[in-house]
Amino acid sequence: MSRTIALRNLILKAKHAYYYSNEPVMTDAEYDALEDELRLLDPSDPVLALVGSPVPPDTMLTKARHAMPMGSQSKVNSEEEFRTWCSKHEVKAIHASLKGDGASAAAYYRDGRLVQAISRGDGTIGEDITANALRFKGLPAWVGNQDAGFSGSVRFEVILTVEDWTKLDPSRSKNPRNAGTGIMGRKNGKHSDCLTIFAFDLDETRDGQSVVFQTEAQKSARMAELSFNVIQHQIHTSADSAIAYFQQIAQTRDTLPIWIDGVVMKVDDIAKQRELGITAGRPKGQIAWKFDSTGAETVLEGVVVSGGHTGGLYPTAQLRPVDIGGTTVSSASLANYDEIDRLDVAIGDSVWVVKANDIIPKIIRVTDRALNRQPIPVPTACPFCGGEVGRRRTTGGDDGVIIECKNSECSKKSIGKINRWISSLDILGIGDVVLHAMVEKLDLADAADLYTLRSRWDQMVNLVTHAERDLRLGERRTDSILQAIDATRTLTLSQFLGSLGLDHLGKRRVELMIKAAGGAMDTLTDWRSGKLRDPAVAILAGVPNIGGSIQDGIDAMGPVIDKMLTRGVIVQDVSPGGNSAETATLAQTVCISGKLPSGKKKADYEAPLREAGFALVDDVSKGLTYLVLADPVSNSSKAEKARKLGIPVISEDALIELCRDGAVDVAASQRVRSSDYVSTQHPSK
């Protein structure tokens, strides 16, 4: 690394620490000496012109979209499965790398400078963690050579190494994965400098064109050349060699400086990977060979039944607490009652419990059957409403393995569907205790009733959430909940349908069906018209076997859908000119992203925007009229996408003008003074 690049890194990280975290990493004299040295090397260096923090204020943990989705890999769990993969795809050279047990993220660079880091999230949308990422070890703030900085993205695992874990938690009361993930998401950035990144993938652009790498080995070498901390890897020319490497790593994993949960095997030839393609979002040319799940023996002490939002009744094992992989496990999934029969397990038995994929506790076998074991009964009536139960029908019309409540009025179903709506739309502030209090004391029957709560403000404020301590919701929490609900009054078609809690229908499936149907399912009216019972339409939408079931579910939710529409919920059609009167009338749209300087929420602007002729939307896409950001010159992913699509990015002041006059001076709104982000205490940084 040249001295210029080293100075840029030091200066950028020092600026960030000084302005963002209030924890300077050096004295003013040391900082000034760095700037003086860089100025001697290049008086016009771009880092010298940067004023204030390299990270805009209030970006931490705001939603951000990945420029390229971060997908998952298919898994193998045995030598036989790995050999089958090699044989099926005629694999020759194999790039084998450690699979770090941490949290995945991506960092985006433009002309050398780190402009944004985003957690993996769902692979498409994650959370902005730039403020913390600038402090991670192994992730440079400036990348590239002295004259031409790196542009593109790098993907990495954020890991708390064993050494740093020991320093932070000498007793090792937690595992480093959970501890590291918690640190990564802290708003105050505390201990972020204890996290280390291990890079495993790279996208690079030069002169606006993507760089084409021939092999994974070349890509890894390029990441190392750019000064990223690259995950340990080797190239193997045969399946036998790769298997031997996996076995060696499995035997010595406890001596490694980081926790890992397997080895990632990639076809080294990238052209071959492209040729193999992708299935269900997973590249065929890559697999993750996971280690055997960590397990322990304990006693099954009881079984409780939980109810799903579609009526399913699910048995959960209550275990004598046992430590597995650094966490205390006291319950485990039993999947369904057929699985209980297959295991021949009963209360009182000793069982072997593993953490499936090192995450979800699961009973895999009985190790000792107790003399006084008690059989686990299959429910003959719903434990929540006393209604009739039966087996859920499969798509082929046969009885399935799930036992479900058949009572359409079951209170557990209602609460489950309301909870599904709340969690799917990320309505913050309504946990299980608050929701049950609302259902019991405010007579919430379904999710549509959430949109009546603003008119019941007094009742909300006085809602008793913990009777034993006479705790009430209170004004501040009520206002926060109502604002969160109001922020969901305008929804995309996939958000609306995918949040109703219907069988087979989540947000992602709605999006896929809309795309596959090619315009036939672009409006709410289309979905409610009965089209999906037509085999031709169901095949077109990609659901040939479940189209009728999906239609039945939508029809059954008809009264709730009608209630939502009459209570002001707006469902946006996919394309202009659809059947939504609201979308047709409000052809111009505005997206508000991140925290605003005034502290106001998106919902505060919804009504004023509607009066001015604008609809409030959640995403940046072609046809958007304005994107509103606290900092219009931000380099966030939404800002970058908007600029590529030619969408004006405006400030909150311009938004206020928009609500008042229906038009703004975009050029004026984008003239943001750099002094807005300059500390009066240290004008040189």
- What is the DSSP pairing of strand 389-393 with strand 399-405? antiparallel
CATH architecture of 294-406: Beta Barrel (2.40)
- Quick: pLDDT tens for 26-76: 887 887 888 888 888 888 787 787 766 677 756 777 788 887 778 888 888
In the prediction, which pLDDT does 678 show?
Answer: 32
**Among the listed ranges 108-112, 309-313, 341-345, 375-379, which one has the minimum average pLDDT value?**
309-313
Cα distances (Å, whole numbers) of residue 548 to 365, 430, 543? 38, 33, 9
Q: Does domain 59-290 have CATH number 3.40.640.10?
A: no
Spell out the SS3 assignment of 90-146.
CCCCEEEEEEECCEEEEEEEECCEEEEEEECCCCCEEEECHHHHCCCECCCCECECC
pLDDT range class, residue 22, cuts 50, 70, 90 = low
pLDDT tops 80 at residue 425: yes
Rounded-to-integer distance, Cα 20 and Cα 7, Å? 19
In the prediction, which pLDDT does 274 show?
Answer: 92
Work out the percent of the chain whose per-residue pLDDT is above 90: 35
- Give the residue, 207 or 678, on which the prediction is more confident: 207
Rounded-to-integer distance, Cα 252 and Cα 98, Å? 12
Tokens representing residue 616 in the block = 């409030």
pLDDT tops 50 at residue 576: no
404 phi, psi to nearest 5 deg: -135, 155
- What is the DSSP pairing of strand 295-307 with strand 312-324? antiparallel
How does the average pLDDT of the chain come out, rounded? Answer: 84
Rounded-to-integer distance, Cα 680 and Cα 628, Å? 27
- Give the residue, 663 or 313, on which the prediction is more confident: 313
- Averaged pLDDT for residues 246-259: 92
- Give the residue, 669 or 476, on which the prediction is more confident: 476
pLDDT tops 80 at residue 464: yes
Are residues 561 and 528 in contact, defined by beta-carbon separation less than 8 angstroms? yes
Q: What's the distance, CA 321 to chain centroid?
A: 30
pLDDT range class, residue 129, cuts 50, 70, 90 = very high
In the prediction, which pLDDT does 68 show?
Answer: 78
Choose among 479, 487, 478, 451: nearest CA to 592: 487
* Residue 612 per-residue DSSP state: T
- Averaged pLDDT for residues 334-345: 90
pLDDT tops 80 at residue 634: no
pLDDT tops 50 at residue 311: yes
Q: Does domain 1-54 have CATH number 1.10.10?
A: no
pLDDT range class, residue 681, cuts 50, 70, 90 = very low
pLDDT range class, residue 147, cuts 50, 70, 90 = low
pLDDT tops 90 at residue 680: no
Alpha helices in 487-580 (DSSP H): 493-498, 507-517, 524-528, 535-540, 547-556, 558-566
Place of tokens 């919920």: 569
Count Cβ neighbours within 10 Å for each residue of 465-476 and write b for 16 or more, e otherwise.
beeeeeebbeee
pLDDT tops 70 at residue 682: no
Place of tokens 């913390």: 132
At 418 the three-state DSSP class reads helix
- Quick: pLDDT tens for 441-453: 888 888 999 999 9
- Quick: pLDDT tens for 649-664: 888 878 887 777 655 5
In the prediction, which pLDDT does 625 show?
Answer: 84
Most confident of 191-200, 421-430, 578-587, 625-634: 191-200
In the prediction, which pLDDT does 137 show?
Answer: 93
Q: Domain map of the chain by residue range?
A: 1-54, 59-290, 294-406, 411-488, 491-582, 586-674
Q: Assign a CATH topology to domain 586-674.
A: Rossmann fold (3.40.50)
In the prediction, which pLDDT does 602 show?
Answer: 79
